Amino acid sequence: LPGAEDNSRFVRLDVTSEDEARAAMERVDQESGKLDILVNAAGIEIEKNIEQTSLADWNRIFAINVTGTFLASKYALPLLRKSGGGSIINFGSYDGFIADPGLAAYCATKGAVHALTRAMACDHGPEGIRVNAICPGYVDTPMLRNFFRDAGDIATLDTAVRGVHPLRRYGTPDDVANLVNWLASDEARYASGQLWVLDGALTAQVQQMRL
């Protein structure tokens, strides 16, 4: 599709489809001949424990959050090699380290993305391809607002969530984008195989001390 004034291009892509992942990278190859940066940001959240989670729920969230990362990366690798290396940035979560209640399948997918990130960094580092994961905490997105809405009074939850963060705020999309930009840049040329937690120090504190 035609892009914006900066000559960007947009391709609608089902990340769970191998055929569409392959076709998208073939288009990149035809139009640019190489790829420098891949950001795997597609993801969904299912607010259930495992007893409430159906097999269809489980398969769907893994298809998007994990298989999508696998497929995009798999078909991007030849194009990254054409660039003489590049940067893959995956999206994990602080929920891949610790767990929020009622997000069992989501937590499982993010743990899988973390492990896949490390494996890819080891396998493809010799080719000059860096692989990292950003692991956000609470970020002001529609997903967070849906989580607040489903859990109860939005204003009360908003205040409470800010209060448990040492910075007394949660993240913005720009906070995340700034880290994406750094990991994609040559300034981060020695950064690979790492899980970058971006959570306003939420997980740095001992929770019992807040009692």
Positions marked catalytic: 106
How crowded is residue 143: how many other Cβ atoms within 10 Å of its Cβ? Answer: 12
Burial class from Cβ neighbours inside 10 Å (0-12, 13-18, 19+) for residue 84 reads: exposed
86 Cβ contact partners less than 8 Å away, ≥ 6 residues apart: 35, 36, 37, 38, 80, 128, 129, 130
Q: Are 105 and 57 in contact (CB under 8 A)?
A: yes
Cα angle 200, 202, 203 (rounded to 5 degrees) comes to: 125
CB proximity list for 110: less than 8 A, separation 6 or greater: 65, 92, 93, 95, 96, 135
